[in-house]
Every structure is written in C-alpha cells, then in structure tokens.
Structure 1
Amino acid sequence: MTSTNTPVEQHKVIRWHPPSYDIRVEDLPKPKIQHPDDVIVKVKLAALCGSDLHVYRGHSGIEKEHVCGHEFIGEVVELGSSYGPESAKGRPALYSSLKVGDKVVSPFTVNCGECHVCRLGYTGRCPEGFLFGSPALDGGQAQFVRVPKGGGTLFNLSNSSTWSSNLSKEEKEKALTGIADSSLLMLADILPTGVYAAIQALNHPKVLPVITGKPWPLCLNSTDVGMGNAVDFTPEDRVLTIAIIGLGPVGICAAVSILDALSSRKLPFRIVAIDLLESRREKMKAVYAAIGEDGKAGGELVVCSPDDAKIQVANWTGGIGCTAILEVVGHTSALTLAYDLVRAFGVIVSVGVHGAPQLPLTGRQCYNKNVSLDFGRCPARAMFPPAFDLLVKRQDVFGGVGEDASLIDRVVGFEGAAEIYAQFDKGTVGKVIFDPWK
C-alpha cells in the first residue's frame, strides 16, 4: 500500500466540467495499468475534434467531468501482463509484438479485436468498446493515457508489418519515416471517418447503376446479362452527382477521399461541397486547388452555401437531385438539406454525430423518394489501412500545418486550452493539435 506521505505522480490534462463550456487544465494522478490487456501511452500529440463540441456545449446529456480528447499519437511506456510471445497465442498480433518504446496511434474507440463484431470489421461497435474522452474512459488530451484492450485497439507505427496496405513494405516504411506526427494523427478519427463516408456511398447498391452503366437490378449481377428491353444509358446517366454537407476537417477528408476514389476509377463526377461558414468554404477551395490532378481528374467540384447548392444541383441534374449525399455535420438541418438535395432512389450517408432530437424526416418523405439512410459511427480501426494509404498519397493536402490548404491550423500547448475550445466552437479556428509537453 502506498504511504500517505508518498507523493502521487501527476500529469497534466485538459478536463471538461459540467454542465457546459467549462474547460480546465488540471493535474491528475497518472493512469496506471488496471487490467492485463492495458497499455499506457505517453502522448506526443492530441487533437481537438468537432465531435468534442457536443460535450463542450452540454448537448450530450453528460454530467460527469472527464479528460477530453479521442485523437492521440504517442509512445508505449508500460504494458500489462498479457503482452509477450507466450501469453498472446491466438490473440491479435500486437499482444505478441508490441513493445515499450513503440510509436502508436489509436482509433477513437477501444476495440477488443477478438469478438464477432470486431472480426466482421465493425470495430466501432465492439461490445467491449469505449469512446476515449468520455465519462467511461478518460481521453488523450493529456500527457499520458490508458488504452484498454491495447492489443486489439492500437496501431503500431514502429512495425509496418502489423497492418495490411496496398503499399509495399518499402513504401510503408519510407512513408512512416517521412510523414510528420501531426499528419499521422489524422488516422485516429478524421481521415478514417472521411474515407468511410466515401466508401459507404460508392459501394451502396443504389449508386451501382451509375457506376456500372446497368439499370436496376441488373447492376447487382457481376456477370454480363442481356439488357432486354432497357434503353441504352446516355453519357449523362453515367455522371455521379454527389453533395458533401459540412466542410470541417472530416468533411474535407471525405471530399479528398471521394475525389481520389472517383479519379482512380476514372468515373465522371460532379461534387458540390457545402458549408454555412465562408471560412470553411475557402478552406475547401484551397484544398481542392492543392490536390494534384491524379486526385481529382474526371469531374468538377464546386463549393457553395446551402442555398446556392440547391440551385447548382438543380442546374446540373435538371431538378432530379444528387445520387448520394455525405452528411458530415450531425444536425437535423443538415439532414433536411440532404433530403432536399438527394434524388429518388438516392442514398444519404450520415457520419456526423447526432444528438437527441428526432430525425427531421417522416416515413412518408422517405417512402416518396425511396431514400436509403446510412447512419453511424465509423469503425476507425477497420478503416485504418485505406486511410493510411490515402494519407501517404495525398501529402499535398495532409502534410502541412498552418498553410492555406492544411487541415491543421496550428499546434499549441495546453496553456490557453479553454480559449482554443471557445474559438473552435465559434468557427474562428480550424483543426488544432495540442502538444502536452509544450
């Protein structure tokens, strides 16, 4: 037992206090191993995310103070007893290979990596999962963080053989030595979520007629089937029209991801990127201008306010509407706009964090348009490999800090965290990264 005279080792954290808008920098006891599967990570960088604002504003129904943040990158400083070559047989690979000193990035949720849900790739809803930066699990805006189920949760950036990739081993290792930690930190949430939104849209059955050039339901058949009495598609029928609602960091990641996927597959497209804030619209324009032709060829992207977007889509489609909508806001007004813009037999993919209010769409509305709604949290760990590959490919927009086309505006210390939260809430600053040791 620890003597009452023995000082407890402390670390600095950014902590939220109820009911709202109360951010404090405090000293708390350092986290300790509580379970054999735990890992203690010394945080090098932690990010401020748009979904942190739901708690900050008091909109999440949370009544308990907790350490903020669900995006962090750092170094392993302590491992539970589950780690080692003998005790880890039959478990996720990191239980046998993770070592003290390894550089790691964490998805924003804990994932056991061993259950039926995780085996299917739906890691964001692991029954043993927790969200970092919540009353259930302190977050990464701290000098140290405890990672439960670390062998199933973390990605080991010191050992590139521990995850799949379309890149060669040499390309992965070169990338890991050349990419800044501020860029790699995007793999915790915003980039996997953006990639997830794009993949969900482009792989939806209702998008397949445009992609395959076959009408419904022949588009579902992988073999060549006669078209029967169907009239041939026109070139206009093969153009994907997509709206992205919300141009915060995740929305921009979704835009970069879907542009890359469409240009790589040589699919013609028209994208309207929408936000209420002019500053975010200008950021999207700068990002689009910075992307190389290999990441946007084959179509056009127009940045608009919501009202202008309705006019743009109507002009593009003759009033029919968008094939797919990516809703990256998490607000009922964004869903209403998505419904207004989507075509009949279209799909709305929502990755924004929605709160308690009822959805603004009635059953009659959904029936009348044959709309498909795809909702929910990104399985960030499962999305890590394609997100990593895109991060490497698009360093033209993901590599900088503080530039016009950079997703990250600045890197700051913990001092002034309350003011940074307030500025981020008002939209006067973009993506901010905290350095706990600055």
Structure 2
Amino acid sequence: MATIASLPQEQSAIRWHPPSYDIRLETIPVPKIQNPDDVIVKVKLAALCGSDLHIYRGHGGVTAVHTCGHEFIGEVVELGSSYGAASAKGRPALYSSLKVGDKVVSPFTVSCGECHVCRLGYTGRCPEGFLFGSPALEGGQAQYVRVPKGGGTLFSLSDPTTWSSSLSNELKEKALTGLADSSLLMLADILPTGVFAAQQAINHPKVAPVVTGKPWPLCFSQADLAPGNEVGLTTEDRTLTVAIIGLGPVGVCAAVSMLDVVTTRQLPFRIVAIDPIEARREKMKAVYAAIDAGGKGTGDFAVCSIDEAKDKVKEWTGGVGCTAVLEVVGNTSALTLAYDLVRAFGVIVSVGVHGEPPLPLTGRQCYNKNVSLDFGRCPARAMFPIAFDLLVKRQDVFGGVGEAASLIDKVVDFTEAAESYEQFDKGKVGKVIFDPWK
C-alpha cells in the first residue's frame, strides 16, 4: 500500500440528514483503504449537482445520514495493494500506472472496467458500481473520499496517455496544464451527461433519415441503391429539429454538445432550448452568445419558455413536431411536454433522474406516435474522452467562473453548504463548487 504521508484522522464533510432539506457541516473520520482496489483521494474541489436535490428534497427514497456529492477532482494520497503489482497485468491501465500524487477526476459512479457491462461501454450500470453521495458510498463533498475500483473508475489527469482522445498526447498535455480545475471538474458528471444526451439523439435510428438523407429503412443500407419509387427528401425533411427541456447545468451542456454535433456534421438544424425559469433562459442566451460563429453553425437556435416553445415548434415544423427531444429535468411534467413536442417516429432522450411517480405516457400514446423513449443514467466514464475534447474546444463557455456565460456561478467554502443547497433548490443560483480547504 502506497501513501503520500500520514493522513489526518478527521475531516470536514457536507452531510445530509433525513427526512429532507437538512444539510450539515460535520467532522467525520478520514476514509481508509478497505479493499486492494481502493484509492483515497484528497478532494481539491467538489460540486453541487441537480441530482443531489432529489435526496435533499426527500424524494430519493433515502433514510440514512451520509456525505453528499458525486462530482469531485483531487489528488491521489493512498493506494491499495493492487496498484503497481504483478497482478495488475491485463487489468485497466491505472492499476499499473496510477501513482500517489497523481491528479484525478472521478465519474459519479464506480465502475470496475473489467466486466462484460463495462467492456461494452455501459459503465454507469456496472454490477459492482455504486453512486457516490449515497448511503452505499460516501460522497465527494468532503476533504477526502474513498474510491472503490479506482483503476476502473478514475481518470488520471497526470497521465493523458491512459485514455483516448481525438487530440494528440501533446495537445492533451497542453490542455491539461491550461485548464482550470473548476473546468475539469465538469467531467465528473454534467458535461458527459450532456454529451450523452446529444449523442443518444443524433445516433438514434429514428433520426437516421434526417442525417443520411435517405428515407426509412433505406437510411440503414450500406449499398448505394438506385432510385426507386421514392420521392426525394426536401430541404425541410433534412432539417433536424431538436427541443431541449431543462436549462440547468446539464441542460446547458446538452445544448452546447448538440450545437457542436450539428455544426461539426454540417447538418441543417433548428434547436429550441426550454425552461420556465427566466434566469436559466438568460444563462442559456449568454452561453450561446459567447460561442464563436464557427461553433454556432447556420441553423436556428431559440431560447423559450414552455408556451413560447410550443408555438416555436409549431411555427418551425407546421405542427409536425421535433425530430428529437432531450429531457434533462427528471419529472413527469417535463416528459409530458416532451411527448407534446416530439413528432411521430420521433425520439425522446431522457437523462433526468426520475423518481417513483409512474410515467405520464400511456401505451396508446406511445403507439399512436411510434415514439421511442430512451431513458437512464449516463455511462460517464465511457463518455469522458468525447466530453474532454468538447471541454477543450468550448473554453469560451466552460472556462470561466461567475461570468454571464460561465456555467459555474461561484466557488464557496463548506460553511456555505446549507445556503447553497437552498438557493440551488429554489433556482436562485446555478452551478456551485465547494472548496474543502477554503
């Protein structure tokens, strides 16, 4: 077992107490290595995420006191016996290369990186996985955190050769030295989740006719078939219309990612970004304004309230509806709106965390529209390389703190935890980052 030095016995941590709305700053023991694959990380920054509000409000079905938070970046201070050992051969690269002192960022769930599920890239549902900031696994809103299966979970920001990228190693290293930790922290959850939503939509079979310019099902054919009895697609048919419901931090990331996808592929598009809260709409407008002309493409981008969005989609599509709808809220009213906005043979991609209430859509509704529903947790570790590349590209949005176009509103110390949770819950503040040592 390797350690940086003698660690303290106690630490400060942000803790949730049942039944709801009870956040306390407490002193608890510093975590220790429990299994050979464990890593202890000294947390440099941790973030408050919209998903934290489900437990905060008492809607998560949680009854146990625990340390909050699933977004953190920090430094390795202790390694279990699996690291650097001969037995590390054939295992994920970090079991051989991770060192005490390395800078790391963690996805919001643990993943072993070795099972069938992880090998396919579905890391968010690893059978050995746990969610940080839950009774099953203490969270990262603390000075120190234990990371189980660290070799399959963490990303080493000290050794960019251990993960893939469209950038060269030289450019990756340059980016890592130039990017602020507050920016890199977005790789823990919100940016991979936003990228995941956009990728799920653009690669969905229901979207293929618009992307390929071929009608269903010829859009899946690899052969260059001679024209048959089909009428060619018009410019309108080839225009991708997307609605994004929810403009919290993840929704903004989804919008930025979708813009990047359509401009990179040079697709005609219309995007409507929707939120009932004016402050969030203003944030989205500022983010869009900050993106350079090359990143905006030549399509239409509108930021609307709910009623305005319904009118806008009707105007754009003649009442047909959106090709795809990204639901980034996690409640039944957002899903109802998504169904109202999506076209027949459209797709709803939901990455919001839903609770116990049953889905508001009946089988008849889904059948009558041939609508596809794509639900669930982002496999954040698998999405990390794509998210990193977008983070580097869009530092005009992801690089600052506290500016009109910054995704991060402020960095505070742990003493402001209860107030920050309350303000975030009421929509009075956007992304908040905690500095455990401030």
Scaled to the shorter chain, the TM-score interval is over 0.9
2:362 paired residue number: 362
Q: Could you say which residue in structure 1 is the equivalent of 2:4? A: none
How many angstroms does 1:233 deviate by?
1.1
Counterpart position of 1:413 = 413
Instruction: Give the partner amino acid of 1:285.
Output: K
Over residues 365-415 of structure 1, what are the superposed CA-to-partner deviations in whole Å (9 max), with x where a residue is unaligned? 000000000000000000000000000000010000000000000000001
Structure 1 stretches (4+) deviating beyond 2 angstroms? none
Query: Deviation of residue 292 (structure 1)?
Result: 1.1
Is the aligned partner of 1:61 residue 2:57? no
What is the identity, as a one-letter code, of the residue corresponding to 2:420? I
1:9 maps to what in 2?
A: 9
Matched, 1:303 2:334: no
* SS of residue in 1 equivalent to 2:421: helix
Q: Which residue of 2 aligns with 1:162?
A: 162
Deviation, 1:223, is 2.3
Cα distance in 2 for partners of 1:84, 1:124 equals: 26
Q: Does the 8 Å CA contact 1:87/1:96 hold for their aligned counterparts?
A: no
Q: Secondary structure at the match of 2:415?
A: coil
Structural mapping, 1:122-201, within 5 Å? 122-201=122-201
After TM superposition, give the deviation of residue 85 of structure 1 in Å.
4.6
More displaced 10-residue stretch of structure 1: 198-207 or 293-302: 293-302
Give the match for residue 112 of structure 1: 112
1:341-352 alignment, distance < 5 Å = 341-352=341-352
Segments of 5+ residues of structure 1 without an aligned counterpart are: 1-6
* DSSP-derived class of the 1:416 partner: helix
Query: How far apart, CA to CA, are the structure 1 residues paired with 2:98 and 2:248?
Result: 34
User: Normalising by structure 2, what TM-score?
Assistant: 0.98
Q: Deviation of residue 104 (structure 1)?
A: 0.0
Task: Return the alpha-carbon distance in structure 2 between the equivalents of residues 416 and 406 of structure 1.
Answer: 20
How many aligned positions are there?
A: 432
Separation of aligned partners in 2, 1:127 and 1:346:
31
1:260 counterpart = 2:275 = no
For 2:294, give the aligned amino acid.
D
Aligned residues of 1:260 and 1:294 also touching (Cα < 8 A)? no
Partner in structure 1 of residue 389 of structure 2: 389
Indicate the RMSD between aligned Cα atoms, in angstroms.
0.9
Distance 1:416 1:175 in 2: 31
Cross-structure match for 1:3: none
The two structures have a TM-score, normalised by structure 1, of 0.98
Q: Secondary structure at the match of 1:228?
A: coil
Q: CA shift at 1:280, angstroms?
A: 0.2
Matched, 1:315 2:338: no
Q: Given residue 424 of structure 1, which amino acid in structure 2 is its aligned partner?
A: F
Match of residue 203 from structure 1:
203
Once the two structures are superposed, what CA deviation does each residue of 1:184-210 show, in whole Å capped at 9, x if it has no partner?
000000000000000000000010101
What letter corresponds to residue 370 of structure 2 in structure 1? N
Per-residue Cα deviation, 1:299-333 (whole angstroms, up to 9, x for no partner): 01100001110000000000000000000000000
Structure 2 SS opposite 1:428: coil
Give the drift of 1:134: 0.2
* 3-state SS in 2 of match to 1:391: helix
Distance between the aligned counterparts of 1:48 and 1:371, measured in 2? 33
SS at match of 2:60: coil
Partner of 2:21: 21
Q: How far apart in 2 are the matches of 1:8 and 1:172?
A: 34
Alpha carbons of 1:8 and 1:77: their partners in 2 closer, same or farther (altered >3 Å)? closer
Q: Secondary structure at the match of 2:81?
A: coil
In structure 1, the residue corresponding to 2:261 is in which secondary structure?
helix
Take 1:406 and 1:391, find their aligned partners in 2: how far apart are those partners? 13
Provide the C-alpha distance between the structure 1 equivalents of 2:263 and 2:153, rounded to a whole number of angstroms. 32
Match of 2:26, SS?
strand
Structure 2: distance between partners of 1:85 and 1:93: 12
* Structure 1 residue aligned with 2:273: 273
How far apart, in 2, do the equivalents of 1:236 and 1:9 lie?
64
Quick check: 1:84–1:97 contact (8 Å CA) kept in 2?
Answer: yes
Name which of structure 1's ranges 179-188 and 416-425 shifts more when overlaid on structure 2.
Answer: 416-425
Aligned-pair CA distance for 1:8: 7.7
The question of 1:43 aligning with 2:70 is answered: no
Residue correspondence of structure 1 range 66-81 to structure 2 within 5 A: 66-81=66-81
Give the drift of 1:296. 1.4
1:197-241 deviation per Cα after TM superposition (whole angstroms, max 9, x unaligned) = 000000000101011110000001122122310001111111000
What is the SS of the residue equivalent to 2:87?
coil
Distance in 1 separating the partners of 2:299 and 2:222: 26
Return the letter of the residue paired with 2:229.
N
* SS state at 1:434 partner: strand
Question: Percent identity over the alignment?
Answer: 80
Q: Give the deviation of 1:267 after TM superposition.
A: 0.3
> Could you say which residue in structure 1 is the equivalent of 2:223?
223
Q: Deviations over 1:46-99 (max 9, x none)?
A: 000000000000001100010000000000000000000523011100000000
Equivalent position SS for 1:417: helix
8 A contact 1:264–1:294 mirrored in 2: no
Structure 2 residue 434 is the aligned partner of structure 1 residue 434: yes
Deviation at 1:279, TM superposition (A): 0.2
Aligned counterparts, 1:223-262, within 5 A: 223-262=223-262
Separation in 2, partners of 1:208, 1:298: 20
